[in-house]
Structure 1
Amino acid sequence: MSSHDSDPELQHDLKQPVCGVRTGAALSAAIHAFLWGCVALGAAYVVPYWAKVFQDFGVELSTIQAFIIDLSFLTMRFWPIGVVGLVVATVADWWFLQTLTTQSSRSLARFWFWANVALPILAGVGIGVIVSISTANIMRNLS
């Protein structure tokens, strides 16, 4: 048995993550909150585009719908931030996963990583499906 094995302080240090688990989780959560905001902005790019097409075809929109569309047109220029946010969040989660040394912490971080990579993609697919269904319904009403 080496002198390192008998030193309880060193053993304690070897089991600690490089960064605090709470700090890493808070950082990751903050990045993903930012990312979800960017996903919303990305949706704001898709929705007003189709709404404008519908308006051009003579579809009447309510005042609230028109306001949301106008607001969306103001934010649609920021959709590339969502792409950057996804890359930054993925790298941050990967780093967070690498800094955790206990198996239970790694399992939790691995779940967090894959959930946060998959959820924005699923949200994007969901938005695409909703827009497609809405488009089909409106086009059917126009004919």
Structure 2
Amino acid sequence: MRLGEFSSVHATAKRRIQREGVAAVAPAEQELRELLPQLESDEDRRVAINLINRLSGYAVPPKPPTPLMQEALSVERAATESVGSVDERIAIMAAARRRIFEIADRAPADEAPGIRALTRVLEHLESNLRDPDWPQDSNGS
């Protein structure tokens, strides 16, 4: 077995642990340890053991969003769910992006980039409203 194949199985285990939590760690570790003898070299086995040893760290739940992030997410959600003409929706998206940047300006330095990143979705939606990737049918859907 090549290390790349092992890494693929590891990535699947990692996603399962992130979804299911601590209870999924031991079975994933066991599954991956059973693959170790199939690896081609001692170096590959060393790398694989390091990957296995990191699995428990993926069971830690992500931090809940801060109040500023929640505020920014609320602005983003309202903009993406907006209805109206193309021009109205473009104006809503642009206003929401400005509002999110204002929120990011109030955030601590380590939080601001994540808040600003929310504007990328709005930017893409606005761009697609201006120049659709595919034609809209006559009822606007």
TM-score, normalising length from structure 1?
A: 0.37
Bigger relative contact order (CA 8 A; separation at least 6): 1
TM-score, normalising length from structure 2?
A: 0.37
